[in-house]
A and B are shown apart, each in its own frame.
Chain A
Amino acid sequence: MIPILIGVTFLTFTLFNLVGGDPAIRFAGKHATVERVAEIRAELGLDRSVGEQYLFFVKQIVTFDYGRSWATKQEISTMITDGLGATLSLTVPSFVASVAFCILLALFAVYGRGTILDRGTVVVCLGLLSVSSLVYILALQYVLAFQGGLFPISGWDPSWTGRWEYLVLPWIILFVLSLGPNILIYRTVIMDEVFQDYVRTARAKGLAEKHVFAKHVLKNAMIPIITVVVIEMPVLITGSVLIENFFGIPGLGGTVIKALNDSDFPVIKAFTVISAMAYMIFNLLADVLYSAVDPRVKLS
């Protein structure tokens, strides 16, 4: 894990220095002067050598202290924890619902493969996929919230009891957005199992088709399914910037986009490292789950 982390820090640092723009110019403001820019460069530590700056970054990672944002002067740890709470309450419920629902639907589609139902599912999924996510957001917000009055148009309540009201419509949209790609991919993964020898054997020994699916196909399909789920998991943290912005959810996605637009390097650094760590943890989690669903896989 350490080498990956070093790679990530190195890449982030290099990329930011190459294309990030000059933060000192950004923060000197519209009435900047050459002296002011130099002062700010010193204030931000940008006048130090590249090596020193990199070491400072590494120190921040080790101590988990990223200091304050250059743009907002807010404590970065607070920005991240504030944003993370909002983002997770947006993404986790719809993610879990979507994974469960899509796997089930994919199972049924494969179970009835070649039928109208299966073909219909594929067509609908392709249809869902081919529409831009912005269209869903614009249309559902307009129809269900503005016209229908079923949900608030946008807004946020930081309390755990009050925030749900604002989250239902974003959940529905995230859920709908995930249907197309998820069902198709789970269907393919499960379909691959159906033609394996062990399935034929199971059928040959006279096992009922539903038992073949529940006991054999699903179990064996779990390995690729876990892989797919884990690959998608970082989205839980990065969230969906569009949905956050349209529904006024103060999540991490918006924070990161703003940081990028502001050359706010400390925030970008913190976020990249946290995402990288999360990614590694999810991968570890996947390995653990593999061994749980398949005794042949052993953690060494």
Chain B
Amino acid sequence: MALSKAYPARQFRPRGQTATFVQVLLAGAVAIALAITGCTKKRFDENDNSLNLVLRANVKGLDPISANDLYSSTVIAQMYEGLLEYNYLKRPFTLQPALAEAMPEVSKDGLTYTFKIKKGVKFHDNAAFKDGKGREITAQDFIYSWKRLADPRNASEGFWIFDGKIKGLNEWAQMVKAEKANYDTPVEGLTATDSNTLVVKLTGVYHQLPFVLAMPFASIVPKEAVEKYGKEFLNNPVGTGPFVLEKPTDWVRNSKITLKKNPSYRPATYPTEGAPGDAEKGLLADAGKQVPFIDKLVFNEIVEDQPRWQNGLKGNFDWFDIPKDNFENAVKDNKIAPELGAKGMALDVTPALDVTYIGFNMTDKELGKNKLLRQAISKAFDSKTYIQKFLNGRGVAAQGPIPPGVDAYDDVYKNPNAEFDLAKAKELLAKAGFPEGKGAPELTYEALSDATARQGAEFFAQSMAAIGIKVKINSNTWPQFQEKIKGQKAQIFGIAWGADYPDAQNFFQLFYSKNKTPGPNDSSFTNLEFDKLYEESLKLPAGEERTKLYRKLRDIVADESPWVFNAHRLGYRLVHGWVGNFKWTEVANDYPKYIRIDAKKRAELGSKL
């Protein structure tokens, strides 16, 4: 009101005039808005069996060697394939041949893998080929594609899957860098004895090879298309997969990607066997039938929770995650809310195959040398409360690095240092030399700057205050955060690791000293005994002996406490009633080809949403 007081009032008050004008303007705006949107579109077509999915982040590019984030690699996996893939239904996760005719023949010393390639599989039709018709794949295509992954000029984040593992491949890459070799230069470990036999020779035993071959990084690409499109290859995908990007404009950057069924997809069938209980759920009704079942697949990219959630509820996405803020409305007593259930939706809960943790920098002079201090911190942190508060209870308190769903997970094991116990924590802190926290150093916790991360950091600080340790919190952007961790400049940091493949090795490598930061061992944990046992475990195939070693590795990590183990998250998602054959798989991204959409049911149920 101060504003108007500054000026004297006029005697003449044209109130009526102004109001009329404003009314006209507003009415006009509303009328235009209604005219544009008034013609409501039909909700769902009874003959449209397309699958509509939603991604939480934008897709960057569609080149398999750049499949370094979940969202890009999910889309890439629809168009590209490798030698092996995961069985859609079996748990624990089991590999099966994809472009390979059968599982590889492995030599007795475990160093040579021989793959027979399926005959008659063709690349998608594309202008890169003669007459525009897709050519048949050969063993040479794998050699070419994997060299591309290794080529330093491509700076692929995926080369780690073969780095130092295949005979002569690293040397070839070095020669390419020095411009002394090209793609015609042979690599000792990669040979095609005939057009459909690929022989891979390893530098050492690598039991994880089959797993990495199922990752999109190892998919095959045709040389013709790479050469035709050059740097634009990432926008012109040509693979062998069940779906194709018909034309580049079907990908609207930062909005959505529309893929069509590949009309000449190789013979590939829905699995005939599943995990116990799958048959009862009707998951085997399509056993042995040719896939894919849908004609069109749309990936929508929406970064905000609210529009993703609301579009999902309206049936615009066939399944969708439940955001943190909507959890209370969607899930009651760990069951789907009745009003959503009544609309035909179902709740799916699947472990996310990850571990969230609070890492200590083991090169830090206070934390690195004081095991008791680390144990005290670990015991003073209540991960169960954290999970309730910050994850709506959607997680399992982690006892070690291995999440449920990965081979060596032990659901009865209790980590003595992960169990929350304030009295014990104080006792340990006294033993560490800081009774009641006296003389304890002030610690610095590096967090990301989003609200959840900050609140989580404050929860950690409060937990530490309870035993007398002061914690300072730093907020970071993602680049700053990474630079601090990778430069060993972060003292304590909250972060997570998601499985690349369902083998415990993928988690234990996080503690191997040769992987220390900038590698995946962000804590720079160094322990000779751990290293020795880890190296031994690498030489063993999956089995009891290796599991025993994994338990030993776990015990060392639990005792040394380079991390505060926090949570293994659980994915909660809602699935609409018209979706058939739904079984969430955390490591495989090729699930759309197994999904069935009941278009009639969607038209019927969808009209009520």
Contacts and interface: CB of A to CB of B under 8 A. Distances in A.
A32 B518 contact: yes
* Most chain B beta-carbon contacts within 10 A, residue among A82, A116, A156: A156
A39 B255 contact: no
A158 B256 CA distance: 10
Contact of B1 (A32, A37, A97, A119): A119
Contact of B10 (A32, A104, A113, A164): A113
B60 A209 contact: no
Interface stretch (A56-64, A66-74, A232-240): A66-74
Nearest to B302: A248
A44 B155 CA distance: 9
Interface string A243-255: 0011110100011
A101 B21 CA distance: 11
B37 A248 contact: no
Interface string B130-169: 0000000000000000000000110101111001000000
A21 B255 CA distance: 28
B25 interface: yes
Contact of A209 (B12, B231, B487): B12
A158 B19 CA distance: 39
B467 to A, nearest CB: 32
B252 A22 contact: no
Interface in B285-307: 300-304, 306-307
A73 B234 CA distance: 8
B479 interface: yes
Given A33-B163, A168-B33, A168-B37, A245 B487 contact: no
Contacts of A32: 486, 518-520
Q: How large is the interface on A (under 10, 10 to 19, 20 to 34, 35 or more residues)?
A: 35 or more
Contact of A39 (B40, B152, B518): B152
Contact of B58 (A154, A247, A258, A263): A258
A108 B18 CA distance: 7
Nearest to A29: B157
Main SS class of interface, A: helix
A40 B479 contact: no
Nearest to B497: A30
B316 interface: yes
Given A141-B307, A250-B254, A114 B519 contact: no
Contacts of A194: 7
A71 B1 CA distance: 51
Interface string A137-167: 0100110011001111111101000001100
Contacts of A72: 60-61
A149 B479 contact: no
B22 interface: yes
Given A141-B307, A156-B252, A43 B153 contact: yes
Interface in B233-255: 234-235, 249, 252-255
B192 to A, nearest CB: 28
B311 A245 contact: no
B412 interface: no
B365 interface: no
A247 B234 CA distance: 26
B253 A28 contact: no
A36 interface: yes
Nearest to B9: A114
Contact of B482 (A21, A39, A44, A165): A21
A20 B479 contact: yes
B376 to A, nearest CB: 30
A187 B7 CA distance: 12
B518 to A, nearest CB: 4
A31 B310 contact: no
Contacts of B231: 68, 73, 75
Contacts of B3: 122, 184, 187-188
A261 B25 contact: no
A154 B311 contact: yes
Nearest to B301: A248
Contacts of A279: none
Interface in B31-64: 33-34, 36-37, 40, 58, 60-61, 63
B304 A112 contact: no
B58 A116 contact: no
B15 interface: yes
A168 B36 contact: yes
Interface string A71-115: 111110001001100000000000001000100110010011111
A246 B310 CA distance: 11
B359 to A, nearest CB: 14
B310 A73 contact: no
Contacts of B33: 150-151, 168, 172
Contacts of B277: none
Contact of B479 (A26, A29, A254): A26
Contacts of A79: 253
A165 B479 contact: no
A31 B160 contact: yes
A276 interface: no
A112 B347 CA distance: 59
Contacts of B40: 149
Contacts of A150: 33-34, 37
Interface in A1-51: 19-23, 25-34, 36-37, 39-40, 43-44
Contacts of A151: 33, 37
Contact of A153 (B14, B25, B155, B310): B310
A94 to B, nearest CB: 11
Contacts of A158: 249, 252, 255
Nearest to A255: B254
Contacts of B300: 155, 248
Contacts of B482: 21-22, 25-26
A57 B13 CA distance: 60
B163 A108 contact: no
A217 to B, nearest CB: 13
B254 A112 contact: no
Nearest to A100: B25
Contact of B22 (A105, A142, A152, A168): A105
Contacts of A73: 60-61, 63, 66, 231, 234
B323 to A, nearest CB: 12
A221 interface: no
A82 B253 contact: yes
Contacts of B234: 73-74
Contacts of A222: none
Given A73-B66, A112-B13, A151-B37, A28 B518 contact: yes
A111 B303 CA distance: 46
A30 B158 CA distance: 9
A287 interface: no
B299 to A, nearest CB: 12
Contacts of A39: 152, 155, 177
Contact of A115 (B15, B21, B232, B477): B15
B314 interface: yes
Contact of A191 (B1, B7, B37, B483): B7
B255 A22 contact: no
A146 B14 CA distance: 40
* Most chain A beta-carbon contacts within 10 A, residue among B1, B3, B61, B232: B3
A79 B58 CA distance: 13
A37 B516 CA distance: 13
A261 B14 contact: no
Given A43-B155, A154-B302, 14 more contacts: A21-B482, A21-B483, A30-B497, A33-B160, A43-B152, A115-B13, A115-B15, A141-B310, A142-B310, A146-B310, A248-B302, A250-B252, A255-B254, A262-B479
18 contacts: A21-B478, A22-B487, A26-B479, A27-B157, A32-B519, A33-B163, A39-B177, A43-B152, A43-B155, A73-B231, A108-B18, A113-B10, A118-B4, A191-B7, A245-B303, A248-B300, A248-B302, A250-B253
Q: Which 10 A-B pairs have the closest CB atoms?
A: A21-B479, A114-B9, A29-B157, A31-B160, A250-B254, A154-B307, A72-B60, A263-B479, A156-B255, A32-B518
